[in-house]
Amino acid sequence: MIDIKLIRENPDLVKENIKKKFQDNKLALVDEVIDLDKKNRAAITQVETLRAERTRLSKQIGAMMASGNKEQAEEIKAQSQKIGDQIVELEKEQEEFQAEITKRMMIIPNIIDASVPIGKDDSQNVELERFGEPKVPDFEVPYHTDIMESFNGIDLDSARRVAGNGFYYLQGDIARLHSSILAYARDFMINKGFTYCVPPFMIRSQVVTGVMSFAEMEAMMYKIEGEDLYLIGTSEHSMIGKFIDQIIPEENLPYTLTSYSPCFRKEKGAHGIEERGVYRIHQFEKQEMIVVCKPEDSMAWYEKMWKMSVELFRSMDIPVRTLECCSGDLADLKVKSLDVEAWSPRQKKYFEVCSCSTLGDAQARRLKIRVASKDGKKYFAHTLNNTVVAPPRMLIAFLENNLQADGSIHIPEVLRPYMGGQTEIRKK
């Protein structure tokens, strides 16, 4: 959510930003907010004037009662009561105006960074850099679930019977590999100076609407029936929510946290063959990183965070590239975002495995996460998030890039301590 002062003082900038995001249907919201804001401020001024008048009358009543002029005192009491009724009505109007303003402000997109490329959708995202040499082996690379099944490492049929489509059982060496990647990612981030957390896996609606747009919420979140609770789609949600309604001493910043959680997502819509198996699923596990920092430090952290993901994937022999998300591909709260994509030898192309974003003060403004400077001034923090690894999807990249001609899987050196010293996984 942007600052309403920006809409008051520079509505053309806000409208231009909406156009850059190809959301022209939201242009009218800016004028509606300006109109409602004027009415709201007029109501506030009126209330303040009436309160001052009521205070003045109250003093008169006291003086008249003291002098024995009870009749005139009763007349002024009636005037004061009438003013009180007017104040109640105006305060009700004020609440309604504020609710309508907030409703619109929640769907006006955040101001994107000047460096973001302008484009309508993800087809216009811009490749920035490649890391590692993408290779296609001289043997056929099977579909990822076929690789897993060759090790008796996945059971989709049983999962369908138990929970339906979009779920899976991992087992044996593949399940161990999955857990090893998570453990390695955890330790990798701890060694980068991040504090390890295991957060709540459910959050209240107040936190949901604080960390994401309504459109994302509807597309992603599972609600617990009869409770004000939602299953998290990523631990970023509960990790940022950790700071709700907090005033943080400036000297405590930055907070650098890495968190493990299961994640639950609706993943609505039909998907092609490449998005079957464990690519798009309703439940998975993930290691995440978040940063809460001063505004002037957020872009530096953005650069550090995506570079950590690149380093992590390269340490497991997986070629990656970075892709700058264009304006039309940015969620409404994001200022700037970059995807890390892993190479798929089977598809002979890259696919997304990490997403790094800075949201400016949008989440902090919604959740009232403020920073207190040493001179007593308060301002909104900046928040950032980035995937460390999401193993089901990451497993696809890992298995394809470490598959050997005889069907075995090479285990990179960094993972061997987590795999009991194994250098490879072989069919039994």
Averaged pLDDT for residues 366-394: 94
pLDDT of residue 276: 62
User: How far does Cα 247 stand from its chain's mean position?
Assistant: 20
pLDDT of residue 268: 57
Q: Is the pLDDT of residue 348 over 70?
A: yes
Place of tokens 């959050």: 203
Two tokens, residue 160: 């369908």
Residues 6+ apart with CB under 8 A from 201: 231, 232, 238, 261, 262
Place of tokens 């923090």: 381
pLDDT, the chain, mean: 93
Task: Give CA–CA dist 278/273, Å, rounded.
Answer: 11
pLDDT of residue 280: 81
Q: Is the pLDDT of residue 66 over 80?
A: no
Yes or no: is domain 4-105 CATH 1.10.287.40? yes
Q: Is the pLDDT of residue 227 over 80?
A: yes
Averaged pLDDT for residues 354-383: 96
- Mind listing the pLDDT tens digit for each residue in 163-176? 998 899 999 999 99
- Mind listing the pLDDT tens digit for each residue in 393-407? 899 999 999 999 999
Task: Give CA–CA dist 407/357, Å, rounded.
Answer: 37
Residue 326: what residue type?
A: C
Place of tokens 């399940």: 175
Q: Is the pLDDT of residue 264 over 60?
A: yes
Residue 371: what residue type?
A: V
Q: Highest mean pLDDT range out of 70-74, 281-285, 312-316?
A: 312-316
pLDDT of residue 270: 43
CATH 1.10.287.40 intervals, the chain: 4-105
Q: Which among 221, 224, 292 is positioned nearest to 259, based on CA atoms?
A: 292
Neighbours of 81 (CB within 10 A): 12
Task: Give CA–CA dist 387/289, Å, rounded.
Answer: 6
Category of 91 on φ-ψ map: left (φ > 0), alpha (ψ -120 to 50) or beta = alpha
- Mind listing the pLDDT tens digit for each residue in 88-99? 999 999 999 999
Minimum mean pLDDT among 52-66, 113-127, 229-243: which range? 52-66
Q: What are the CB-based long-range contacts (under 8 Å, 24+) for 274-280? A: 274/347, 274/351, 276/145, 277/143, 277/144, 277/145, 277/156, 277/396, 278/144, 278/145, 278/154, 278/168, 278/392, 278/393, 278/395, 278/396, 279/144, 279/392, 279/393, 279/396, 280/166
Averaged pLDDT for residues 186-195: 98
Q: Indicate the pTM of the whole model.
A: 0.89
pLDDT of residue 406: 95
Give the pairing type, strands 154-155 and 320-324.
Answer: unpaired
- How many Å is the Cα radius of gyration of the chain? 28
Higher local confidence (pLDDT), 220 or 263: 263
Two tokens, residue 325: 């998300």
Q: Is the pLDDT of residue 274 over 50?
A: no
Q: Is the pLDDT of residue 65 over 80?
A: no
Q: Is the pLDDT of residue 272 over 70?
A: no
Residue 176: what residue type?
A: R
Task: Give CA–CA dist 90/84, Å, rounded.
Answer: 10
Q: Is the pLDDT of residue 230 over 80?
A: yes
List C-alpha distances in Å: 309 to 65, 90, 249, 280, 355: 76, 53, 29, 20, 9
Share of the chain above pLDDT 90, in %: 83
Torsions phi, psi for 300 (to 5 deg): -65, -40
CATH 3.30.930.10 intervals, the chain: 122-425
Averaged pLDDT for residues 291-312: 98
Give the pairing type, strands 283-293 and 382-389.
Answer: antiparallel
CATH superfamily assigned to domain 122-425: Bira Bifunctional Protein; Domain 2 (3.30.930.10)
Task: Give CA–CA dist 320/317, Å, rounded.
Answer: 10
List C-alpha distances in Å: 117 to 23, 335, 357: 16, 12, 15
Residues 6+ apart with CB under 8 A from 405: 137, 138, 139
Q: Is the pLDDT of residue 306 over 90?
A: yes
On whether the CB atoms of residues 222 and 344 are closer than 8 A, the answer is: no
